Structure 1
Amino acid sequence: MADVNCHKVLMKALDFDEAGDKEKAIEHYTMAVEMILSIEDKEKREKMNKFARQALDRAEELKGIKKNLSDGSPSKSLPIQQHKTTTSIVSPTINAPNKVTIPTHSPKLEITRDRGGYSMEEKKVLEKTSLINSRIYVPFLEVDAKERFNFPLPFTDKDGMLELAPKQKRDFHKWMRISEICEYPTIITGAYPDFQAIKQTVVSDCSFVSSLTVAALYEKKFNRRILTSIIYPRNSKDEPVYNPSGKYTVKLHVNGIARKVVIDDYLPVGRYNQLLCSFSNNKCEFWVSLLEKAYLKLMGGFDFPGSNSNIDAYALTGWIPERISIRKNDSDFNANAVFDRLKEGFHNGRCLITVATGELTDAECDRTGLVSTHAFAVINLAEVDGIKLLMLKNPWSHLRWKGNYSEKDSRWTPELQKILNYDPKIAQSIDNGIFWIDYHSLINFFDVFYLNWDPELFKYTYCTHKCWQSGVGPVKDAYTVGDNPQFSLSVPAGRGSVYVLLTRHITTIEDFRENNEYITLLVYHHKNGKRIYYPHDPAPYIDGIRINSPHYLCKIRLDPNQARKYTLVVSQYEKSTTIFYTLRAYCREPFELKSLDQHWLTNLQLTGEWSALNNTAGGCQNHKTYRFNPLYKIILANDGNLVVELRAPKVFQVGMELTIKELEDQSITAPFISKSTDSFRSGFCVLDLENLPAGTYYVRPATYLPNQEAPFFLKVKSNVKLQIEKEN
């Protein structure tokens, strides 16, 4: 019967097509494909596949989608039976500006930029890291909000059911649609989501649930939809609504851009009819469960090893993540300044805040009521008569702090209760996981604050997406960062800071389980925004902490009296793999940030040696034997830039001198007679010279002391053609 109905729908599609009604023709072709894909009988479905392909091809043609003819053949997609909806096959962004279509595994990936175009490198980076946990996640565009959500048959995600966590599998009974769980389901029952109703269950995603909590609280407090705005479909009031067809789209910020995550409404249910995922205590609403499902689909399934609230809240909101370590025994940690900054940001609606414990013993957990390595939502901050207090929410919605200012503590005076609008007796009657804790106790038992700042605080922004190949530069930044990705930052005089966010793209859940990639940003100001080669000579102005979180935030304060130029260096500890990353900068004042990528026309490497036997180990200029060191002649064909790098065993102090033999144009004045490296350094030195006139140059590498024997490498790079040969 299903195949008969499919034929009828196809006939209608052909009728509308012949009549020139494109919209209805596309609708019926699409409906036919979906009906074919929903046929349960495998044999019948396979017989109908050719009709599905024809319908899909014609629908694409009507929408204006062209085949990729670069290799003489149409672009390929996965076998048709793997798809459940045409929206998974064809991106609806046909007329988007600055669009580039990149053939991928499947579906067709549309990479667009709202303002200005992406470079080819950026397109490749965003396409490469769209494959996350073996699924393609296309960019989210505004037209996605208007895609089709209603179907003749209930929608089922083509990617199948998500992998369950071990604790879920233990109690699992079956997957149920939300219409089977609740007779009258909604997405949100009130005008705004209720942060107090959120409850985490058996999935280890406390940081995500805490992120939901602080974002939901923000929505209600500041009347601004930063969370519920990411759920589709929506009604005329721009509110997320229940979809009887069971299809939902969630907009999540991941790997450089906002991406589209499509889910169905199947949820895991236990043998006692209980939800085995996070949910809202308001039994008819499902925004918590759907957002969690979308996020965990992106992350590879419910069997999630956990992350942190910087990662989770950024994915939900796109707000700038910052990590503040609580270092109670560090004299540089200004606890009062941190609290004041948190309180001001929280009450002015500038940031979302969560806090996490470190490792706690079982005895400490029993005594304090806290949980080891657990995230809590910060839902209030206050200071009363010099006492600093924070109100936290455990995402479990039960189990509370037992120490100072807990609900049973004697410190609750009537005055304090009135000021904070808190009644300990009422709190004692129900454990909802919400409690007050004094700041001093928090510092003793918690490890880190996670903040996410509203990007709309900053008028000016910059963003680029880059790739750093594993073979470029040394494994460690011990002696040179010359091949590291670098950027020149120019900032005006003023108040405030430039926020620079480095985000490493993650494409597999294993990166969370066994994350050995440590990244950071180094900031230098002694080179006036020029390329840096020596990582610690002098030391960086800001030496970033290498962390294995995908986000690292660097804040550079503006000088109120003068404009400045900085060099930003991307650094990775023990680099072993290619990394893809996004660099974003935010400032209230106009600034300039540009890549210092160098594209060399000539890149040569020679090997040499200092040998006492061959009388080529002459030592530095302090010795008469200096002239016996190896000598190389470089001929620059045109005016250009020249970089000469010398590498040798680290036990030797090495240096170089470059002299001008003659210039091709005899009428110009030579810019110098000779240039040498500033000092002799362990195992590495470099000469980086700009705007050299065409001509003949000599370069002489040397060790500091004579008769030091060692091999060396000489790397010569230029943006013009050159010749190099050994003279002696």
Structure 2
Amino acid sequence: MATTQANQLRGAQTLYTAATKAEISGEYDKAFKLYVKAAEQFLHLGATAVHAASRTQCKSEAAKCVDRAEKIRKRKKYVAPVAREYLSEREQLFVLQKSSTVNGIVYPVWDGPFPMHPDTSQPKLSAEQTRQSACWAHAGDKYVICSAGSLLSPEDVSQHVISDCSFCASIAVCLAHNSAFRSTLGLSALFPQDQRGLPVPSSGHIHSVRLLFNGAYRRVDVDATLPHGPDRELMCLSTGCRRELWPALLEKAYMKLMGGYEFPGSLSSTDLYTLTGWIPEHIDIASPNFEREKTWRRIYRSFREGRCMITIGTGPEVRYQAIASTTLLPAHSYAVIDVVEDDRGRTLIALDPWQEQVEAAHAGPELGITRLSLDDGNAAISRIFEISWDLMCTVFDGLYVSWDPSLFKHTLEFHGMWKKDTNVDESFPSHFRLTLKLDEYMPNSQMWLLLTRHVVDSKRSGEFIALSLQEEFSKEGIADPSLKGEYTNNTQVLVRVTVPQKTIRLLVSYDGTHDDVGFSVCAFSDHPMSWVREEQSLAYSETVTGKFAARSAGGNLTLPTFMKNPQYHVRIHPDRSTNGTGNRGKKSRLYASLRGDRHIPLNVIAIWSQGQRIADFAHSDIALSSGAYSYGHASIASDLPAGDYTVVVSAFEPRHTGSYSLKLECSTRLEVVSEIPPEGAGMYCKPVRGSWTAETAAGAPQFQHYKANPAYELNVTSQSEVLVRLQLVKADPSISLNVSLYRLSSVQTLGPLVATSGAYSDAVCGVLLQSKALPVGRYAIVPSTFTPGACAAFKMVVHSSTVVESIPNIPSSVNQ
């Protein structure tokens, strides 16, 4: 330890010396960067040095570095910013240290020095415990910490007056696993221990509990007293006649960490992660995306092999009232202690951890649930019951699976912090980008990614997180938009992915009112992997803000209204760093980031153009796309040549409205030339609706009955520019459209062709006719389909630079 700190001190002093030399030689950017890095290292040493004199010296040296850096900043108008080394050891340690304080108590990292004065303050009792006159007391000689004989069974543990069914169910499934596979899950978290790894009494009556919380294993110290009722019986998690205390001590430590016995509830998979480090997965049974058969196949084999533990939970309202009235509680957790598949079908053996609930339950036969009799012949109702897999999927809302991390050969962690971006709306979520590289890429290999939000106040609410993969730009699948990156108010999100390529870009998101919120990302894989250092910002950036409103929310590109979405003319200037004429062959790195409310699925796309408004385009026209729509954020990074582009921002559906912020970052100079006006901006507008019927669906001119198509009179009283957009009311790719403009003769017949939308097209956005200088006169607008008999409703929007009279339908008999 001392040798490591001495080496780090020499490294910081070397940086300071190099900074001084750079400053003397006039290399101010370099000097500023070195001073800042030296200051960071000195501050890190000042916080971790063992001796007080060393801490004082390091803090003094850090102050000198900061002073020199500030003088350079004042001397030079612009100093290149210094990027934070987010992957450095000191940055990672800083996040973990900042997240050590939970509910006002400091919980040090387990591998750190043992605290001289352990915090053994008591967790606050719950209102129900207080109402029943609970008090703190030692359990007495009739209790033991842990029996050296037979292991506890799941039914030995009972939940009483505390609403911590998720934690009690977690202890129960640990006991089931210990019994079946000779493990010590749960037991191994309590210290001190004997040579077998089992907890033993502490000579000082202080026990340390090792819990995985806020990114690291932490030390939670508790004394040996527990809540007792007036009858001297435990008023907390108990083990009945077995009278073992280790489950109650674990519960006490966890309740202390979570702010007291007035526990609002949790997910058992989250509790098990804290207690054992097993990977939590929350499967929403009530979701339409739940895959019943596939899920059974996943959990059955893994459970039989001891690779996962399972609990199940009801929702706020039990979904099958016939059962709810007799057995199941709403918002309650149940431990799954066995999973069976035999000639009777697929069955879960479950345990209700709450003793009082079972004692009050209906004792008769229950629909679909079979109570198992007790081995000792006791007349009390068993808390263990059988339920079929299919019925469980009907009744319960949540399936909580905890996976053995040894399923994977390699694990990689990152600890970071979400900070509010002062340049965007405070209500927008915060985001952090990470890049992960597989050292050995194997196609179709699996990777699990776990995002954990650090909790510093368990009473805080209204905080949501999301984890999504930002795939490399590909034009495949662009025409089939999908959704990703949904937010959850759980503290953890698990994403299981088939690795798409060697390098994976992640986006972790937070939506809440708080700043400096810590998080951890843990990656699990069978292949070695590492984090890639990537700048959180590029040299040049532009930010624009806007709003999806009724007239500018067009939805995704499968909709005819996509063209209504906000569009921007963006220019990427060539890289002129090599020589005065520029290096036209070199591409620029462009990062596009679109932010909005977390309820709005977003996408950003850039199209090769001259900066004009885009209505229809081919896939080959797409320069980059963020791909699937993601909630609250869309981003993409790509290398693009210098030139002009049209950037389109969109929400998934026209009903998704709200503010947004678009940030474009580039390695070379970037310019948002303008927001491109919507089609027909500044012109008069007249909507027209009609339909092709059996009599009027006459088809294209070559089918000889073209004049039977609907026709609308346009009376131009002064020279005018005219735009006509024709669309189907309901998109149909089998129908191709055209709209044409003809002179109208004095006898109401079609005269010469004046303008047309061009070849018949099946574009989703429809077709556009444009006439820049239409002379005074009377004209006929003729919408048509290519194929005769294509009956459909259509809508036209006629824009004109001058006022035009009403646009009446011309009777087909006159038209002909």
| Common topology (TM > 0.5) | yes
Matches within 5 A, 1:378-389: 378-385=336-343, 387-389=345-347
Select 2:292's aligned residue among 335, 347, 353.
335
Task: Give the conservation status (yes or no) of the 8 Å contact 2:87–2:414.
Answer: no
Select 2:208's aligned residue among 249, 254, 276.
249
Aligned-partner SS, 2:325:
helix
CA positional deviation for 1:549: 0.8
Q: Evaluate the alpha carbon distance shift between residue 483 and residue 177 of structure 1 in structure 2; reply closer, same or farther with a 3 A threshold.
A: closer
Task: Give the conservation status (yes or no) of the 8 Å contact 1:505–1:581.
Answer: yes
CA positional deviation for 1:708: 6.8
Q: Deviations over 1:432-488 (max 9, x none)?
A: 31110112221222100111111111111110100111236745898x988766767
> What is the rounded CA distance, in whole Å, between the counterparts of 2:679 and 2:375 in structure 1?
84
Task: Give the conservation status (yes or no) of the 8 Å contact 1:488–1:566.
Answer: yes
> What is the rounded CA distance, in whole Å, between the counterparts of 1:134 and 1:400 in structure 2?
37
Q: In the alignment, what sits opposite 1:273?
A: 232
Q: In the alignment, what sits opposite 2:135?
A: 174
What is the letter of the counterpart of residue 414 of structure 2? T
Is residue 232 from structure 1 mapped to residue 191 from structure 2 by the alignment?
yes
Q: In the alignment, what sits opposite 2:169?
A: 210
Select 1:136's aligned residue among 106, 118, 124.
106
Q: Evaluate the alpha carbon distance shift between residue 491 and residue 677 of structure 1 in structure 2; reply closer, same or farther with a 3 A threshold.
A: farther
Q: Deviations over 1:245-282 (max 9, x none)?
A: 31111100000000001110111111112211111124
> What is the rounded CA distance, in whole Å, between the counterparts of 1:697 and 1:249 in structure 2?
56
> What is the rounded CA distance, in whole Å, between the counterparts of 1:555 and 1:395 in structure 2?
30
Aligned-partner SS, 2:647:
coil
> What is the rounded CA distance, in whole Å, between the counterparts of 1:242 and 1:407 in structure 2?
44
CA positional deviation for 1:208: 0.4
Q: Deviations over 1:353-411 (max 9, x none)?
A: 10001123696566331111100000111122262110100011465699999977899
Q: Evaluate the alpha carbon distance shift between residue 407 and residue 427 of structure 1 in structure 2; reply closer, same or farther with a 3 A threshold.
A: farther
CA positional deviation for 1:649: 5.3
What is the letter of the counterpart of residue 377 of structure 1? A
Is residue 679 from structure 1 mapped to residue 647 from structure 2 by the alignment?
yes
Is residue 450 from structure 1 mapped to residue 400 from structure 2 by the alignment?
yes
Q: Evaluate the alpha carbon distance shift between residue 490 and residue 448 of structure 1 in structure 2; reply closer, same or farther with a 3 A threshold.
A: farther
Matches within 5 A, 1:153-552: 158-178=119-139, 181-183=140-142, 185-327=144-286, 332-360=289-317, 364=322, 367-385=325-343, 387-397=345-355, 399=357, 429-471=379-421, 474=424, 492-511=441-460, 515-527=461-473, 543-552=484-493
> What is the rounded CA distance, in whole Å, between the counterparts of 2:379 and 2:220 in structure 1?
41
Q: Deviations over 1:499-551 (max 9, x none)?
A: 0000000011203xxx21111112232338xxxxxxx9899877132111110
Q: In the alignment, what sits opposite 2:615?
A: none
Select 1:127's aligned residue among 97, 106, 116.
97
> How many residues get paired?
527
Select 1:658's aligned residue among 564, 569, 572.
572
What is the letter of the counterpart of residue 468 of structure 2? L
Q: Deviations over 1:645-701 (max 9, x none)?
A: 444555843221234496661487423684233534469797967665xxx887633
Select 1:68's aligned residue among 48, 52, 60.
52
> What is the rounded CA distance, in whole Å, between the counterparts of 2:108 and 2:385 in structure 1?
41
Q: Deviations over 1:280-310 (max 9, x none)?
A: 1244311111110111111111121111112
Q: Evaluate the alpha carbon distance shift between residue 333 and residue 158 of structure 1 in structure 2; reply closer, same or farther with a 3 A threshold.
A: closer
What is the letter of the counterpart of residue 417 of structure 2? C
CA positional deviation for 1:69: 4.1
Q: Evaluate the alpha carbon distance shift between residue 158 and residue 294 of structure 1 in structure 2; reply closer, same or farther with a 3 A threshold.
A: same
> What is the rounded CA distance, in whole Å, between the counterparts of 1:357 and 1:685 in structure 2?
39
What is the letter of the counterpart of residue 548 of structure 1? N
Q: In the alignment, what sits opposite 1:419?
A: none
CA positional deviation for 1:577: 3.4
Task: Give the conservation status (yes or no) of the 8 Å contact 2:373–2:382.
Answer: no
CA positional deviation for 1:350: 0.9
> What is the rounded CA distance, in whole Å, between the counterparts of 1:196 and 1:690 in structure 2?
61
Aligned-partner SS, 1:219:
helix
Task: Give the conservation status (yes or no) of the 8 Å contact 2:173–2:311.
Answer: yes
What is the letter of the counterpart of residue 127 of structure 1? Q
> What is the rounded CA distance, in whole Å, between the counterparts of 1:564 and 1:541 in structure 2?
23
Is residue 587 from structure 1 mapped to residue 546 from structure 2 by the alignment?
no
Q: In the alignment, what sits opposite 1:566?
A: 504
CA positional deviation for 1:140: 0.7
CA positional deviation for 1:127: 1.1
Q: Evaluate the alpha carbon distance shift between residue 208 and residue 475 of structure 1 in structure 2; reply closer, same or farther with a 3 A threshold.
A: farther
What is the letter of the counterpart of residue 676 of structure 1? D
Q: Evaluate the alpha carbon distance shift between residue 688 and residue 516 of structure 1 in structure 2; reply closer, same or farther with a 3 A threshold.
A: closer
What is the letter of the counterpart of residue 296 of structure 2? F
- Percent identity over the alignment is 24
What is the letter of the counterpart of residue 133 of structure 2? F
Task: Give the conservation status (yes or no) of the 8 Å contact 1:404–1:411.
Answer: no
Q: In the alignment, what sits opposite 2:676?
A: 703
Task: Give the conservation status (yes or no) of the 8 Å contact 1:655–1:685.
Answer: no
Task: Give the conservation status (yes or no) of the 8 Å contact 2:206–2:224.
Answer: yes
Task: Give the conservation status (yes or no) of the 8 Å contact 2:369–2:385.
Answer: no
> What is the rounded CA distance, in whole Å, between the counterparts of 1:667 and 1:580 in structure 2?
46
> What is the rounded CA distance, in whole Å, between the counterparts of 1:447 and 1:591 in structure 2?
36
Q: Evaluate the alpha carbon distance shift between residue 182 and residue 425 of structure 1 in structure 2; reply closer, same or farther with a 3 A threshold.
A: closer
What is the letter of the counterpart of residue 229 of structure 2? G
> What is the rounded CA distance, in whole Å, between the counterparts of 2:87 and 2:290 in structure 1?
43
> What is the rounded CA distance, in whole Å, between the counterparts of 2:182 and 2:264 in structure 1?
33
The TM-score normalised by the length of structure 1 is 0.64
What is the letter of the counterpart of residue 179 of structure 2? K
What is the letter of the counterpart of residue 665 of structure 1? N
Q: Evaluate the alpha carbon distance shift between residue 653 and residue 491 of structure 1 in structure 2; reply closer, same or farther with a 3 A threshold.
A: farther
**Of 311-320 and 366-375, the range deviating more from structure 2:** 366-375
Consecutive unaligned residues of structure 2, counting only runs of 5 or more, are 1-47, 60-85, 549-564, 587-640, 651-658, 683-816
CA positional deviation for 1:220: 1.9
CA positional deviation for 1:122: 1.5
Task: Give the conservation status (yes or no) of the 8 Å contact 1:368–1:401.
Answer: no
What is the letter of the counterpart of residue 450 of structure 1? Y
> What is the rounded CA distance, in whole Å, between the counterparts of 1:407 and 1:677 in structure 2?
70
> What is the rounded CA distance, in whole Å, between the counterparts of 1:489 and 1:676 in structure 2?
35
Q: Deviations over 1:578-627 (max 9, x none)?
A: 32100000011234443544256xxxxxxxxxxxxxxxxxxxxxxxxxxx
CA positional deviation for 1:158: 4.6
Task: Give the conservation status (yes or no) of the 8 Å contact 2:443–2:499.
Answer: yes
Q: Evaluate the alpha carbon distance shift between residue 120 and residue 251 of structure 1 in structure 2; reply closer, same or farther with a 3 A threshold.
A: same
> What is the rounded CA distance, in whole Å, between the counterparts of 2:511 and 2:154 in structure 1?
39
> What is the rounded CA distance, in whole Å, between the counterparts of 2:214 and 2:367 in structure 1?
46
Q: Deviations over 1:183-205 (max 9, x none)?
A: 46332343534322111111110
> What is the rounded CA distance, in whole Å, between the counterparts of 2:453 and 2:267 in structure 1?
15
What is the letter of the counterpart of residue 238 of structure 1? G
Consecutive unaligned residues of structure 1, counting only runs of 5 or more, are 1-63, 76-115, 145-154, 413-421, 529-535, 601-640, 710-728
What is the letter of the counterpart of residue 246 of structure 1? H
Q: In the alignment, what sits opposite 1:627?
A: none
> What is the rounded CA distance, in whole Å, between the counterparts of 1:687 and 1:471 in structure 2?
11
Aligned-partner SS, 2:571:
strand
Q: Evaluate the alpha carbon distance shift between residue 395 and residue 388 of structure 1 in structure 2; reply closer, same or farther with a 3 A threshold.
A: same
Give the CA RMSD over aligned residues: 4.1
